[in-house]
Structure 1
């Protein structure tokens, strides 16, 4: 049992910001979301201005000053919860005052405020606006990282998962219109975390993160409940259309174009987004909402690794014995023992869309919808990684930040990935409500498929250090003692020093996860303006089926690797590359036993069935609310794993099963202090 007091003051003085330079209207909307402050400003003026970039943690009003930069607005903060931006040059005449009122834009976030007011606890909400997301393929993960307490777990230059208040992403419950989403994690692994990089922001209208819990929330939501709500055609009076096409230029070239992989652009990319909706029928009781996106872009990066291993020389360039900075006679300059770096070139593609058909007959309290979506992300990537072990037999031209040493061992790693991730779902709901009650029936099936072909090859060589056969590495080393290779004395000599294969392998990964979900929820007397006794109840069935498999081909190492390598035509390459596009796989000798064993060990299947039900009792006063509820989760599962004799697979599959029934009681008390904030006391057992 835990008791968690939470005090939320309306004028929280500091916030963490992540707002790039953009149109001032969009920047002010992002500022309002990230602080909870509401801003009124002249929309026609703001549409023609640019904001300053805003990153880091700082005082809200100092941050607003920085965001505005030298723009013509001055800040009126006489009401700490509602800020007005006034034009500095405006004349205080009747005409100018009238013009200002006509152009006034109030950034109040009605949806976000409604969600906060309707939930007895801590919830943050982000709403999607097409016009403030011009260019780029914004994902749900990118949007949610704008909310307080939310951290993006990045994949390259984009967030893929989110952590709420530092809790693991595996402990979040993620839903779309209340339906649990299927998701395959990094490299096809089967985990609880949901890849929000695959969900485009324009598919949803409002996304909420619930940080405190009642019995109505899923029992697995230890971190947070992330609930995404699809966009609706009824958000618009009639026909709505939005089309955005854009180009992308990436400044980092990296090894793209020099790695012999066709179709990989060094810099350029492009994309498009479109949203269409309309209402139709005799009384406009039908609506349709569609969205589409396409993007192709290049991401090139380079990395440096540093092992905690260095060489220490005396003033005559001789290695110390023992080789340590504490040995007397050290010249005071650190030289690296390892120099380790690599480059990555990625061709990233996204294509897909969503459609939702809705029905809302007038004066019936009924509504229904059916929705489908399908998105595919695929990537062609190449990693070249060169690792050098430098000898301690001599050093030349040493300074505190640079030097030259013998290459004792060189190792080259080449890895190519061609993966595809398909994200799909079909959802439907049927709702009814009157002035006091609501009844919601929701059902859906979501699934993801992951495919990847990964060739992986490594080779190493020990160049001679005798006479003109020696190969030298020039390096730089920074204050953090991280070394970077700047030059190899003779790349051709290194390549022809006798590289031999160390690892030769291919993997064909195929993974699938599907989730079927049905739930029925009923509430009575729980409207925002309701008082007195009310309750919520419901039940849910959920079925998960996930399979992880990998066909692995391992080849016998050894043999000359030089003919499969080349010197890339690029500035200061880290070393030779593998030509994986034209690699002679048919010349390799397959290790049939190892391949079969590793393929069998890679198999895994997991099936889970969940039944749950809840009852939540509410009593609401003018400024306070008490919620007492209980939720019961019944889970049974089957895991299918390969049998081993301790080290190797036997070819048999073992079945493990189990289950549990857990009651989860909860008690929540919320009191609203007028003009000040909220006090929430929460007691939860079993989460």
Structure 2
């Protein structure tokens, strides 16, 4: 295990000064050593000694991270399955921008990023589409990332301020969504009745982004992007009424954060033999050199703004009856301007070495794109929980939610075909190239417009969910035989509409409407031309001729409508004693879908719509066991079958074209659901009178008919495009180990160490996947989105009066982002380790000041490619973020 950790951390050593480089790798092993320190002693102690209440310790005031660590220990101990959680204060204890980033602190959960912002969550290295997210146990609507019609829930929109707990279910029961192929995440919203809830809380803050180098000379949008400062505010009001039988929880938030990014890119590589002929790297006469096919850089300016709030009304007239009504609405706006400069379609390489050579330049371009991403999430839920008598309980939940996505996307690329050569050197951190005609690359008259368009993409998703659950002798403290049973109905409606205007090519040049920015573009070693966007869109575009056929094609080809209806029922038998809890259940899911999309043939839109419909019923078995061997030891085991239904986009999308990245995504209406057989075995050991916990879980999944995205290269109009479509793989297997240690206080070792706490978790995964494409069987010893190693470590020190300091590290190993038909063109995400800091000072019980540092060492995200997945493809410079907040609580 130590070897795996050292390997995962080593890649970050070279980019920092020597003192910092010596500090960084120590946190993960240090936290592990500290967290395990009391375990050996506890393990040798009398195992029959009763565990004391973790919250009753003389002379120790429990607050902050220590209190939350104990809450998470208690939650794991009390759960019948393998469930990990984060409580409210722990969600906000570190400078995570989204709850997707907070979830990566849980063992076995990783975050999938959009550049440097966490958007989606993965459990046990599975694709986020396999991980349903529920709110209070009910499904919520999603439009995926860009309205493309996926099942993954965008957690970038939902803020942490209104969340009481995040739960990650690894073992599953029949009451859970059958689509929880890899696990399920449940968001528990805050309530006025939560323990320790303040009546009123107000927080205001400011952020500072260290990397704001990209100028906003031609940025579009309502807000300027030159200032590194952001701002935020959160409010909550939680009064109770009528002798504490009615509770009201109102929250509101606002956040604005600027950011710039630089992304230097070498898209793919070319391979040659000693005679200069192009070959595959699997060819025996390959000369061992990987030559670049392009040099490019994306320069971004961004402004993120989100605001919204929640209202929750609870009614608890007595101990047997609880009812609530919960509404939420969040609005997110991202204004992104992207300038791209490339020398591309390089070929005829000469004088090749491992890091240098020369090549012919077939294309140079300057691109400008603006994206105004709007992502909104809203919904209304109601629930009733009624303990009818001592043995019987009824719960009814109903909800409807809406997700909305809209993006306004003007785009233009100007291209020059010089047909001359350049020399390059890739031996440094950033590649450099020297073109033979450098002055011609700065002459705007040489560049003519190619792809020019404006489009508006709008997507809606609605989910209605009704469920009723009945339990007899099924509560945690009930003994003997019991059962639970339930029915649910879920309706999902998704649609996307695009309105595009495309202009004819070669009608304008960059002459008079371009400039050279005062900015050394990382990864583009020459000066470059940027578009004067205002002049172009206001003065030039009105003179351009519209291409009506292309406009119609792009307005219709990616439109779709998808309706899915699921009716499910389950029954689960239970047997419980003081030390043992067994359950065996069966779930029946019947799902029907109807999809409508455009009909396309040979690049032409045909009249009418294509339709696809299907229905299927699935019987899914579940077994779970929890055995308290002693007050300190507990074993848990689980076996289940779950489904992974295809994404709507896999069925209903004809084609999705991205002219900037030269990618095409196509759907496959014949795709079949995946089915997973899941096995889990876990052991839990509680030590230091309930202050500490050690967990180990082994899991195995076998997924039949797995759905994979496979890419291949196609040449269209002289340019090489990457075309991706979903297919069913033959079989996917993966096995893993989760280890977790939490020690909320080291008082057992020495009273002076009572304020010190530590936590550590690690996930190791080995997987294999194989698939058929065009009659050829391809295999890989890793799954898509699967890191072989991921882990977290935290150290926290409680200071007087509730103040504290907390340092945390998160590591995610290399993983496969995109399959390609030619394995050497697979796209990998580089290993990524971040370090975060929080310092909290309680001025008095009402006032708190917090200073947070995110990505302290400025780790860069990046992509790899090549035969061994170790060749540079792209790096992303995002810098650090510092945040300061002041809070008032009453």
**Which TM-score applies when normalising by structure 2?**
0.61
- CA–CA distance in structure 2, aligned partners of residues 667 and 391 of structure 1: 57
Query: Within 5 A, what are the aligned runs for 1:268-279?
Result: 268-279=228-239
Compared CA separation, residues 493 and 620, structure 1 to 2 (3 A): closer
- CA–CA distance in structure 2, aligned partners of residues 628 and 230 of structure 1: 30
Question: Corresponding residue for 1:513?
Answer: 461
Query: Does 2:381 align with 1:427?
Result: yes
Question: Corresponding residue for 1:383?
Answer: 338
Question: Corresponding residue for 2:706?
Answer: none
- CA–CA distance in structure 2, aligned partners of residues 604 and 546 of structure 1: 8
Higher relative contact order (CA 8 A, sep 6+): 2
How far did residue 333 of structure 1 move?
11
- CA–CA distance in structure 2, aligned partners of residues 510 and 393 of structure 1: 43
Query: Does 2:258 align with 1:304?
Result: no
Q: Which has the larger radius of gyration?
A: 1
Question: Corresponding residue for 1:442?
Answer: 397
Question: Corresponding residue for 1:208?
Answer: 167
Secondary structure of the corresponding residue to residue 202 of structure 1:
coil
- CA–CA distance in structure 1, aligned partners of residues 567 and 269 of structure 2: 55
Question: Corresponding residue for 2:704?
Answer: none
- CA–CA distance in structure 2, aligned partners of residues 377 and 557 of structure 1: 35
How far did residue 100 of structure 1 move?
7.7
Query: Within 5 A, what are the aligned runs for 1:398-409?
Result: 409=363
Please point out which of 357, 367, 370 is paired with 2:325. 370
Question: Corresponding residue for 1:641?
Answer: 597
Query: Within 5 A, what are the aligned runs for 1:158-197?
Result: 158-197=117-156
Query: Within 5 A, what are the aligned runs for 1:120-199?
Result: 120-129=80-89, 132-133=92-93, 138-199=97-158
Query: Within 5 A, what are the aligned runs for 1:21-420?
Result: 58=29, 60-62=31-33, 79-80=41-42, 101-103=59-61, 107=67, 109=69, 111-129=71-89, 132-133=92-93, 138-236=97-195, 239-261=198-220, 263-308=223-268, 338-363=294-319, 365-389=320-344, 409-420=363-374
Contact 1:447 1:514 in 2 (8 A): yes
> Number of residues paired by the alignment?
600
How far did residue 143 of structure 1 move?
1.4
Secondary structure of the corresponding residue to residue 100 of structure 2:
helix
Question: Corresponding residue for 1:531?
Answer: 479
The answer for unaligned runs of 5 or more in structure 1 is 1-11, 18-51, 66-74, 84-97, 313-318, 327-331, 466-471
Question: Greater CA deviation, 674-683 or 377-386?
Answer: 674-683
- CA–CA distance in structure 1, aligned partners of residues 303 and 115 of structure 2: 12
How far did residue 432 of structure 1 move?
1.1
- CA–CA distance in structure 2, aligned partners of residues 476 and 202 of structure 1: 49
Query: Within 5 A, what are the aligned runs for 1:626-637?
Result: 626-637=582-593
Query: Does 2:515 align with 1:562?
Result: no
Compared CA separation, residues 56 and 274, structure 1 to 2 (3 A): same
Please point out which of 574, 580, 589 is paired with 2:533. 580
How far did residue 475 of structure 1 move?
5.2
Compared CA separation, residues 577 and 282, structure 1 to 2 (3 A): same
Contact 2:323 2:384 in 1 (8 A): yes
Question: Corresponding residue for 2:607?
Answer: 651
- CA–CA distance in structure 2, aligned partners of residues 394 and 371 of structure 1: 63
Contact 1:462 1:497 in 2 (8 A): no
Contact 1:568 1:577 in 2 (8 A): yes
Secondary structure of the corresponding residue to residue 188 of structure 1:
coil
Question: Corresponding residue for 1:477?
Answer: 426
Query: Does 2:562 align with 1:609?
Result: no
How far did residue 393 of structure 1 move?
10
State the superposition RMSD in angstroms: 3.9
Could you give the per-residue CA deviations for residues 195-250 of structure 1, whole angstroms, max 9, x where no partner exists?
A: 11221112211111111122222211111111111111011567522222222222
- CA–CA distance in structure 2, aligned partners of residues 436 and 682 of structure 1: 27
How far did residue 445 of structure 1 move?
0.6
Question: Corresponding residue for 1:553?
Answer: 501
Could you give the per-residue CA deviations for residues 431-483 of structure 1, whole angstroms, max 9, x where no partner exists?
A: 11254332111111111111111112112113486xxxxxx968542269x72
Compared CA separation, residues 175 and 148, structure 1 to 2 (3 A): same
How far did residue 564 of structure 1 move?
6.6
Question: Greater CA deviation, 406-415 or 118-127?
Answer: 406-415
